Amino acid sequence: MPSSPEDLTIGGHRLFEINFLGAVGEVDLPYYSEDGEGYAEGLGLEKYRGYWEGLEILPQSLEEEMEMFLTLLGRITGRFLDRDWASSQGLLCRVP
């Protein structure tokens, strides 16, 4: 059984982790893993620079920040974040 995000990505898979810190009402910076390697800069990696085009870089609220990150994930995966996306195989999420 994989024990870390890096373990889950061995074999060419990728994982994006976005955490909402309920105690302080903030979203933690996204964490990204690909093929067994983890990157704290996550969605700021050079390979994802083009996906940021047209997005508000300094969101003014929690809602704007979550919308920005979810829009980025939708752009990267090529799918809208809808019911079908949320129920797709391999997706692990907890929504409070």
Domain residue extents for the chain? 5-86
Decide: 84 and 60 in contact? Cβ < 8 Å: no
Per-residue pLDDT tens digits of the chain, which is 96 residues long = 667 888 888 888 888 888 888 888 888 888 888 888 888 776 667 778 888 888 877 878 888 888 888 888 888 878 777 777 767 666 555 554
The one-letter amino acid at 12: G
pLDDT at 46: 79
pLDDT at 53: 87
Distance in angstroms (rounded) separating the CA atoms of residues 12 and 4: 15
CA proximity to 73, closest of 22, 20, 9, 14 = 14
pLDDT at 78: 82
pLDDT at 64: 85
Q: Supply the DSSP string of 32-74, one letter for each residue.
A: EEETTEEETTGGGSGGGGGGGTTS-SS-SSHHHHHHHHHHHHH
